Amino acid sequence: MPHLDLLAAEQQWWKTEGIAISDTIDRAGTPGVRMFDKLGRRIDEILYPREYQTMLRKGYRSGVVWRALEENSLIPTYLLMYTISFHDPGVCCPYTVSLGTAVPLAKYGSAETQAHFLPPLLRKDDSVWQGATWMTEIGGGSDLGAAVNTIAKPAADGWRLTGDKYFASNAAAELAVAAARPEGAPPSVRGLALFLVPRCRKDDRLNYFLRRLKDKIATRSVPTGEIELRDSEAYLLGQADSGIYLILEVLNLSRVANSVVSVALAQRAMADALAYAECRTAFGKRILDLPLLRRQFDDRLKSLRSAFALAWESVRLLDQVWMERPPYSERYHLFRLVAHLAKYWTAEFAVDTAKWAMEVHGGLGTLAEYGAERWLREAMILAIWEGTPHRQILDGLEVMERKQAHKMLFAQLAEIAPAGELQEMESEVQRLLNLPPQQKEAEAEAVFRRLAVLSADQLSRKYPH
Ligand SMILES: Cc1cc2nc3c(=O)[nH]c(=O)nc-3n(C[C@H](O)[C@H](O)[C@H](O)COP(=O)(O)OP(=O)(O)OC[C@H]3O[C@@H](n4cnc5c(N)ncnc54)[C@H](O)[C@@H]3O)c2cc1C
């Protein structure tokens, strides 16, 4: 397998150094912010311990961002994320949003913007810049068309952005992509454009301000804050009137990352549960050998393989279409459906598995020192960011309805799955799509869930165990 040595080295580093750093960061909670320097100038510096930088920079050096553009493939990026998130799901957020900055810049930035900003994002040493992807505002993340109030005004040398971003991960990144509405654009999702926003202005003063950091239940390896854009220097990516497509391309990179991270988290929670069940005894046996628990382990292992297959199928498809621009191919729409199924189902599976792994530990599972509680906290966030389950279901419905993406999915599955099962599922999907709009939304979850499980189970035949 290509990159095997890279992944083995990454794994080894986490065992010898990374795990201890990650545990400390998680237990330490939200870091402080130094807002002013000694001369009273705004600096908005996040006060993580030095070891945090060691952990964070390791993934960048290994190539979680630069390899995608140098090797012209997303496979190494997602392989690295899978390996890293087995130990720390949260630290994959900075990597994902940095990728989500580098890719649209490489695809849609002007030659001048690329020449200035891309090389620092792709550095292979510790001076690498980080990216960020800021869409969500106080009005909510699901309905971006209504909730994005950040305004973009044209300026002689680019654009100026003013507005507040309410959930902004990697809050001190050197460069961010942000959704904003050019003055006079329609008040819907079609009026949004995507802009590149550097941390520092041309005169070196701060270009955006960090109001505060969020005190979160998990993903403490990424600082998430509130950002104030105040006449901030910005550069338009692509055409203003196709901004929503670019925003969705950024989100899709994250949704696939989220799927990979969810599967790794579930695998980690199961590995910890297994290690515990091999040692703990009850009723004269290792608890692993008690029939009820043994069956649960067997069933969950099968589901893990299915979840992995679904996540990896989304990686494989994205790797084929990530350089496409609108108007997209049919394959792109197939990818979108698989990405919604994967984001939805793998996160649900991760939450359920983390809860179960805690139960296997019994009361000890609720204690921080056993680790199981952390996986449950982390998993809860995976289900919400990058679009909640509701969003995945409704967007999945849309791509089936408007682009007939389910037909492409069924055609692909037909090569590996029994015909009867597929036909039954296909008529269930068709029945849903034929319902009146309100009823269709109300009844979508059960069908979407069955479609996700069926796809995952059938795809698992494709991947070696
Ligand atoms: C730790 C963390 C970090 C984050 N980092 C970032 C970041 O870096 N950049 C960024 O842009 N965002 C970020 N987010 C925001 C995240 O993307 C949003 O939380 C998410 O998109 C949901 O938006 P919301 O929280 O505003 O919920 P809302 O949109 O207010 O939704 C509230 C509830 O209503 C449901 N709902 C909405 N519409 C429908 C519908 N049509 N049908 C049924 N139910 C519906 C939602 O699913 C949800 O359950 C982050 C979030 C977290 C928790």
pLDDT at 85 over 90: yes
Residue with the nearest Cα to atom 2 of ligand 1?
A: 385
Pairing of strands 193-198, 175-182: antiparallel
Q: Which of ligand 1's atoms lies nearest the C-alpha of 218?
A: 1
Model confidence pLDDT, tens digit, residues 428-455: 999 999 999 999 999 999 999 999 999 9
Centroid of ligand 1 to alpha carbon of 385 (angstroms): 6
What pLDDT sits at residue 465? Answer: 67
Answer yes or no: are the C-beta atoms of 318 and 396 closer than 8 Å. no
Residue of 91, 136, 170 to test ligand 1 pocket, by largest number of atoms within 8 Å of CB: 136
Q: Which of ligand 1's atoms lies nearest the C-alpha of 387?
A: 21
Residue with the nearest Cα to atom 7 of ligand 1?
A: 168
Model confidence pLDDT, tens digit, residues 389-408: 999 999 999 999 999 999 99
User: Ligand 1: residues within 6 Å at CB?
Assistant: 133-136, 140-142, 167-169, 216, 219, 224, 381, 384-385, 387-388, 390-391, 394
Centroid of ligand 1 to alpha carbon of 383 (angstroms): 10
Closest-CA residue to 78 (of 332, 305, 316, 304): 316
Answer yes or no: are the C-beta atoms of 440 and 398 closer than 8 Å. no
What pLDDT sits at residue 463? Answer: 79
Tell me the percentage of the chain whose pLDDT exceeds 90.
99
Which helix H or strand E contains 70, and what residues bound it? helix 66-70
Answer yes or no: are the C-beta atoms of 89 and 219 closer than 8 Å. yes
Q: Show Cβ contacts of residue 104 under 8 Å, excluding neighbours closer than 6 positions.
A: 177, 194, 237, 238, 246, 249, 250
Average pLDDT, the chain: 97
Pairing of strands 285-286, 281-282: antiparallel
What pLDDT sits at residue 145? Answer: 95
Centroid of ligand 1 to alpha carbon of 340 (angstroms): 15
Residue with the nearest Cα to atom 19 of ligand 1?
A: 385
Q: Which of ligand 1's atoms lies nearest the C-alpha of 386?
A: 17
Model confidence pLDDT, tens digit, residues 260-313: 999 999 999 999 999 999 999 999 999 999 999 999 999 999 999 999 999 999
pTM score, whole prediction: 0.98
**328 DSSP assignment:** P
Residue with the nearest Cα to atom 44 of ligand 1?
A: 390
Centroid of ligand 1 to alpha carbon of 382 (angstroms): 11
Q: Show Cβ contacts of residue 20 under 8 Å, excluding neighbours closer than 6 positions.
A: none
Centroid of ligand 1 to alpha carbon of 137 (angstroms): 10
pLDDT at 152 over 70: yes
